[in-house]
Amino acid sequence: MVIRDLAVPVPVIQGGMGVGVSLSRLAGNVAKCGGIGIISTAQIGYQEPEFDANPIESNLKAIGKQIKRAKEIAMGGIVGANIMVATKKYEEYVRAAVKAGADLIISGAGLPTLLPALVEQSKTKIAPIVSSVKSASVICKLWDRKFKRCPDLVVIEGPKAGGHLGFSLEELEEFQEEAYETEIKGILRLIKQYSEKYQYHIPVVVAGGIYDGKDLRHAMELGADGVQVATRFVTTWECDASEAYKQAYVNAKKEDIQIVKSPVGMPGRAIFNEFIRRTQTGEEVKHWKCHQCLEKCNQKDIPYCITDALIHAVEGNLEQGLIFCGANAWRAKKIEHVSEIMEEFAQEFAKI
Ligand SMILES: Cc1cc2nc3c(=O)[nH]c(=O)nc-3n(C[C@H](O)[C@H](O)[C@H](O)COP(=O)(O)O)c2cc1C
């Protein structure tokens, strides 16, 4: 897969996972193995000593540190950042990632309308995450009109993804594989028009439920250039989450994986646990301080603090944590090395 001047030997992007699930160790190792490693900037500074007092400064500092460390591990491989549009100080985080030398910025959880302006005069590539022909069309039209440019890459994220989902509860309930594949083909057709207009190939990757070489093959048969994979990389030795977090995946059964309501206002997917049970029964989960994560969050109205819940989970305090995962998390049977997973994808890709 080629993204403008970036050649990607294995067309696998490791999806950004916040809070703290994909940091430098995971991203660096995926990049080292020929894929693209993506750091999630969502509360990336949570391990910084001054995080409680000053989350935004801590996050800005950590973006630089984590990208630098990932690039050292990657030894020339491609490292990018996932920065959600819905986060407070989105523009500052993007600028910090560009300054730190991120090769690519992937932005979802809203449409990244201003992203082209934020990377101007840098080599950083940009990719919106879309989940329908409509959202793909809106962002392409807008960038074309306002910035005379188009995306360097497009990520299509489907309903089987992990974390917050770009679909309503009703859409998730009515999900049909065939309709989704029609949507993917529609997006591919649309992006082809922009490729023709701008005279370079804009690669499109699909995300959500991609677990093995067979899934990569299927995505490429639909016309995609590659895939974005997140859940599969959680159960690796190199993943930045605690061992308890990874074990929760290994132990999860299919029926443990549920759609949950999140204070972010979008549905999310997570492994059912005591924390989810408490929030579903309406029990109030106390939070004492705002960590400045989202642009739109009213402390008084939320059932729990999403930052607290995700930090508890990544640190291994599972009783109080929200364990985000994709629909295929139950397929994990053991902890693997990133190199083994990448080898599996590389072998299938070579056959394709
Ligand atoms: C634990 C977890 C955390 C995630 N966090 C983010 C995030 O912070 N921002 C984002 O845009 N996507 C996030 N995602 C979505 C992934 O980047 C990815 O697109 C999606 O999960 C792909 O589906 P898969 O997990 O089935 O491979 C997260 C996914 C998981 C599993």
What is the residue with the minimal CA distance to atom 10 of ligand 1? 16
Residue 187 — very low, low, confident or very high, per pLDDT cuts 50/70/90? very high
> Residue 164's beta-bridge partner residues?
268
pLDDT beyond 90 at 295: no
Render 145-185 in DSSP notation, one character per residue: HHHS---S-EEEE-TT-SEE-SS-HHHHHT--HHHHHHHHH
pLDDT of residue 32: 98
Residue 30's SS3 state is helix
pLDDT beyond 90 at 1: yes
Ligand 1, closest atom to CA 106? 11
- How many Cα neighbours within 13 Å face the side chain of 84? 23
**pLDDT by residue (tens digit) across 97-121?**
999 999 999 999 999 999 999 999 9
For range 182-190, the mean pLDDT:
97
For range 156-162, the mean pLDDT:
96
Ligand 1, closest atom to CA 38? 17
* Spatial distance between the Cα atoms of 38 and 67, rounded to a whole number of angstroms: 9
**pLDDT by residue (tens digit) across 29-79?**
999 999 999 999 999 999 999 999 999 999 999 999 999 999 999 999 999
* Spatial distance between the Cα atoms of 211 and 329, rounded to a whole number of angstroms: 9
pLDDT beyond 80 at 218: yes
Q: Measured in angstroms, how far is the CA atom of residue 196 from the centroid of ligand 1?
A: 30
Residues with CB under 6 Å of ligand 1 are 15-18, 21, 40, 42, 82, 84, 108-109, 129, 157, 160-163, 207-210, 228-231, 324-326, 328
Contact 159, 169 (CB under 8 A): no
Q: Measured in angstroms, how far is the CA atom of residue 99 from the centroid of ligand 1?
A: 24
The CA-CA-CA angle for residues 93, 308, 314, to 5°, reads 80
Q: Measured in angstroms, how far is the CA atom of residue 18 from the centroid of ligand 1?
A: 8
Strands (E), the chain: 2-3, 6-7, 12-14, 36-40, 78-82, 104-107, 125-130, 154-157, 163-164, 204-207, 226-229, 257-261, 267-271
pLDDT beyond 90 at 302: no
pLDDT of residue 173: 87
The tokens for 56 are 């935004």
Residue 286 — very low, low, confident or very high, per pLDDT cuts 50/70/90? confident
Contact 168, 190 (CB under 8 A): no
Residue 22 — very low, low, confident or very high, per pLDDT cuts 50/70/90? very high
pLDDT of residue 265: 81
* Spatial distance between the Cα atoms of 50 and 311, rounded to a whole number of angstroms: 15
pLDDT beyond 80 at 328: yes
Residues 6+ apart with CB under 8 A from 317: none
Determine the residue of 38, 231, 239, 322 to mutate for testing ligand 1's pocket, defined as the one with the most ligand atoms within 8 A of the Cβ atom.
Answer: 231
DSSP β-ladder status, 226-229 and 204-207 = parallel
Contact 224, 210 (CB under 8 A): no
* Spatial distance between the Cα atoms of 350 and 63, rounded to a whole number of angstroms: 34
pLDDT of residue 242: 98
For range 19-32, the mean pLDDT:
98
Sheet of strand 163-164: strand arrangement: 163-164, 267-271, 257-261
Region of 136 please: left (phi>0), alpha (psi -120 to 50) or beta. alpha
Q: Measured in angstroms, how far is the CA atom of residue 325 from the centroid of ligand 1?
A: 7
* Spatial distance between the Cα atoms of 156 and 222, rounded to a whole number of angstroms: 12
Question: pTM score, two decimals?
Answer: 0.97
